[in-house]
């Protein structure tokens, strides 16, 4: 099923396609296609290429260097980027803290941070979760005491992705422990090289450094690096999570994995390996689920473009999109059979020689890595709770 796009949106999609064909280096898209991701300098260069075209920040307003696109266009752009295997831009800057700075930042903060994000001059990590505050995020304990023009921050953040590369962290800290927990939180923008910050790796079960724990030991942070009002950080955080969840359907990513599945099946049939009826059925079920997800995402985004408000729909998209990625991964993994077995971290290192056909090289890594999709940014159980309350009235 193909939803009918307006002529101007179809032309826009074509324009994006052409830009990608002309500007995306094949060696870079190959790395992305095979699931390696790209080194940070390559990602930064790609950010600057998009920025030169005015397309680095699809979700920002034009006045601050964004595109001002409708949600539907953003969705189409994302689909084209993924289907051409373009590197992803740094979501923490472009999709999370950037929009929060645009909404809550002072003029000075906007001028300082936004151009640097657009030009890949700074990179961020997200300091929300703590050992005792995950799903119940408002329970954060990392405390910030006022001392003259500074806050003194002490505590720790956990599961902090990309902290080892980031030069800034946006963090929720407790500035008032004596009020309802949501009312005593402040949002800070902190340089990672401030004295008192240490970063410890957390290694996932596939041997990869997937996260970090970030420790703050009496870290001095100027008060003008606060985003929004003191004790109003929860409002900023909720807004930021909203931004994070708006485009969470993972339709583009699902399409990418689906095309890998089809490529593998095609390749196997040229080698005389017959696709059995069960596989055929499974593939068709995945295709139907993906079309349903895509149609639902477009319906929601289009309603939002026409002034609709966002309720629990992003939770539905997040839930189904993340589950579907895992179902797709599973099928791909099953299809490639023993070529999917080398899951040892050494064998997964970029330098390692592929064991089977090149498309098998990172399938296991994807399978394991994407397990986190049903946890990060709000677990599936939490999304079920939201849907149960907001949609089913339970």
For residue 46, give the nearest of 97, 76, 11, 85 by alpha carbon.
85
Rounded CA separation 30/223 (Å) = 45
Tell me how far, at minimum, the Cβ of 178 lies from ligand FAD, in Å: 24
Residue nearest to ligand FAD (CB): 134
Torsion of CA 352, 332, 250, 298, to 10 degrees: 140
Quote the tokens at residue 94.
Answer: 């472009």
Which of these ranges, 22-30, 35-43, 265-273, 379-387, lies near ligand FAD under the rule CB under 6 A? 379-387
Q: Which stretch binds ligand FAD (CB under 6 A): 235-243, 296-304, 321-329, 375-383?
A: 375-383
Length of the chain: 394
Residue 137 beta carbon to ligand FAD: minimum distance, rounded to whole angstroms: 7
Long-range interactions of 108-111: CB distance < 8 A, separation 24+: 108/224, 109/189, 109/227, 110/64
For helices 71-83 and 277-305, the axis angle rounded to 10 degrees is 150
Q: State CA 187 to chain mean position distance.
A: 20
372 binds ligand FAD (CB under 6 A): yes
Interaction between residue 77 and ligand FAD (CB under 6 A): no
Phi, psi for residue 173 in degrees, rounded to 5: -130, 155
Q: Which of 128, 339, 359, 368 binds ligand FAD (CB under 6 A)?
A: 128
Q: How far is the CB of 238 from ligand FAD (least distance, A)?
A: 14
Q: Please report how close the Cβ of residue 390 comes to ligand FAD at its closest, in angstroms.
A: 15
**How many residues in the shown chain lie near ligand FAD by CB under 6 A?**
18
Residue of 42, 138, 355, 382 interacting with ligand FAD (CB under 6 A): 382
H-assigned helices in the chain: 7-23, 26-33, 40-52, 71-83, 91, 98-104, 107-118, 233-246, 251-270, 277-305, 313-336, 345-348, 363-369, 380-390
- 174 neighbors 241 (Cβ within 8 angstroms): no
Binding window for ligand FAD (CB under 6 A); candidates: 32-40, 124-132, 193-201, 321-329: 124-132
Q: Which is nearer to ligand FAD, 102 or 137 (CB)?
A: 137
Is 126 near ligand FAD (CB under 6 A)? yes
Residues 156-195 that bind ligand FAD (CB under 6 A): 159-161
Q: Report the chain's terminal Cα–Cα distance, integer Å.
A: 34
- Distant-in-sequence, close-in-space partners of 204: CB < 8 Å, separation ≥ 6: 210, 211, 368, 369
Smallest distance from ligand FAD to CB 369, Å? 8
32-47 CB burial, b ≥16 within 10 A, e <16 = bbbbeebeeebbbbbb
Closest approach of Cβ 50 to ligand FAD, in Å? Answer: 23
- If one asks whether residue 375 binds ligand FAD (CB under 6 A), the answer comes out as yes
- Considering beta carbons, is residue 77 or 211 the nearer one to ligand FAD? 211
Which of 385, 386, 387, 390 lies at the binding interface for ligand FAD (CB under 6 A)?
A: 385
Which window, 6-14, 58-66, 155-163, 303-311, contacts ligand FAD (CB under 6 A)? 155-163
Counting contacts by CB under 6 A, is residue 387 touching ligand FAD?
no
* Residue 216 engages ligand FAD in binding (rule: CB under 6 A): no
Cβ 85 vs Cβ 30: under 8 Å: yes
CB nearer to ligand FAD: give 140 or 298.
140
Shortest CB 370 distance to ligand FAD, Å: 9
Site for ligand FAD in 192-211 (CB under 6 A): 211
Count Cα atoms within 13 angstroms, Cβ side, for 339. Answer: 17
In angstroms, give the least distance from the CB of 204 to ligand FAD: 8
Q: Which residues bind ligand FAD (CB under 6 A)?
A: 125-126, 128-129, 134-135, 159-161, 211, 372, 375-376, 378-379, 381-382, 385
């Amino acid at each position: 099923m193909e939803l009918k796009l307006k002529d101007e949106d179809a032309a826009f999609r074509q324009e994006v396609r052409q830009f990608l064909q002309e500007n995306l280096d094949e060696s870079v898209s190959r790395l992305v296609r095979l699931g390696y991701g790209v080194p940070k300098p390559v990602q930064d260069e790609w950010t600057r290429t998009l920025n030169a075209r005015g397309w680095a920040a699809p979700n920002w307003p034009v006045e601050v260097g964004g595109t001002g696109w409708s949600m539907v266009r953003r969705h189409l752009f994302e689909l084209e980027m993924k289907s051409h295997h373009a590197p992803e831009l740094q979501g923490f800057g472009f999709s999370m803290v950037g929009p929060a700075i645009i909404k809550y930042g002072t003029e000075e903060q906007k001028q300082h941070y936004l151009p640097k994000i657009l030009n890949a001059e700074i990179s961020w990590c997200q300091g929300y979760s703590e050992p005792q505050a995950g799903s119940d995020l408002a329970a954060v304990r990392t405390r910030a005491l006022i001392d003259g023009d500074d806050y003194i921050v002490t505590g720790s953040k956990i599961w902090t992705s990309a902290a080892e590369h980031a030069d800034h962290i946006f963090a929720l800290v407790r500035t008032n422990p004596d009020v309802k927990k949501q009312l005593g939180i402040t949002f800070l923008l902190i340089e990672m090289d401030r004295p008192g910050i240490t970063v410890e790796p957390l290694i996932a079960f596939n041997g990869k450094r997937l996260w970090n724990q970030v420790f703050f030991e009496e870290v001095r942070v100027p008060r003008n690096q606060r985003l929004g009002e003191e004790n109003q950080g929860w409002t900023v955080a909720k807004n930021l999570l909203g931004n994070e969840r708006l485009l969470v359907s993972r339709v583009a990513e699902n399409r990418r994995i689906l095309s890998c599945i089809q490529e593998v099946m095609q390749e196997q049939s040229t080698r005389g390996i017959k696709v059995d009826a069960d596989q055929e059925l499974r593939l068709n079920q995945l295709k139907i689920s993906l079309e349903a997800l895509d149609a639902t995402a477009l319906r929601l985004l289009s309603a939002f473009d026409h002034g609709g408000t966002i309720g629990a729909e992003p939770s539905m998209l997040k839930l189904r999109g993340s589950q579907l990625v895992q179902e797709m991964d599973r099928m791909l993994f099953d299809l490639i059979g023993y070529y999917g077995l080398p899951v040892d971290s050494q064998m997964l290192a970029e330098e390692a020689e592929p064991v089977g056909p090149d498309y098998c090289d990172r399938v296991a890594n994807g399978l394991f890595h994407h397990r986190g999709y049903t946890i990060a940014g709000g677990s599936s159980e939490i999304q079920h709770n939201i849907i149960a309350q907001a949609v089913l009235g339970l």
